[in-house]
Amino acid sequence: MIEERDSHRVERDGPLTIITINRPHVANALHPDASWELAEAFDQFSADPNQWVAIITGAGDRSFCAGTDLKYRASFGREPLPASGFAGLTKRFDLDKPVVAVVNGAAFGGGFELALACDIIIASEHARFGLTEVTHGQAALGGGIQRLARATNQRVAMELVLTGRQLTSKEALQLNIVNAVVEHKDLDMTARRWVKKILEAAPLAVRASKQTLLRGLDEPSLAAALDNQEYYPAVKRLRASKDAKEGIRAFSEKRRPNWSGH
- Helix axes of 203-218 and 242-252: crossing angle, nearest 10 degrees: 120
Q: What is the pLDDT of residue 78?
A: 84
Q: How far apart are CA 58 and CA 24, in angstroms?
A: 8
Measured from the Cβ of residue 166, the count of other Cβ atoms closer than 10 Å reads 18
C-beta separation of 33 from 7 below 8 A: yes
Task: Please tell me the distance from the alpha carbon of residue 160 to that of residue 33, in angstroms, as a whole number.
Answer: 29
Type of residue numbered 45: F
pLDDT means per 10 residues in the chain (262 residues)? 91 97 97 97 97 97 95 87 97 97 98 98 98 95 96 96 97 98 97 97 98 96 97 97 96 95 91
Whether 90 and 114 have beta carbons less than 8 Å apart is answered as: yes
Cβ burial of 42 (10 Å; 0-12, 13-18, 19+) is buried
pLDDT recorded at residue 9: 97
List of residues 6+ apart from 127 with CB closer than 8 A:
64, 103, 104, 105, 106, 107, 168, 169, 172, 181
Q: What distance in Å separates the CA atoms of residue 39 and residue 92, rounded to the nearest whole number?
A: 9
Burial of 212 (0-12, 13-18, 19+ CB in 10 A): buried
Predicted TM-score of the model (pTM): 0.95
User: CA 243, CA 259: separation in Å to the nearest integer?
Assistant: 6
- Which residue in the list 3, 79, 113, 200 is annotated as catalytic? 113
pLDDT at 254: 95
* Residue 63, strand partner residues: 106
Q: How far apart are CA 262 and CA 254, in angstroms?
A: 21
Residues in the chain, total? 262
133 tagged catalytic: yes
What percentage of the chain's residues is helix, strand, coil (to nearest 5)?
50, 20, 35
Q: What is the largest CA-CA distance in the chain?
A: 64
What domains are defined for the chain? 2-199 (3.90.226.10), 202-252 (1.10.12)
User: Looking at residue 76, what is its pLDDT?
Assistant: 85
* pLDDT at 189 (0 to 100): 97
* Beta bridge partner(s), residue 103: 123
Q: Is 113 a catalytic residue?
A: yes
pLDDT value for 27: 97
Give the active site residue among 3, 133, 183, 219.
Answer: 133
pLDDT of residue 1: 75
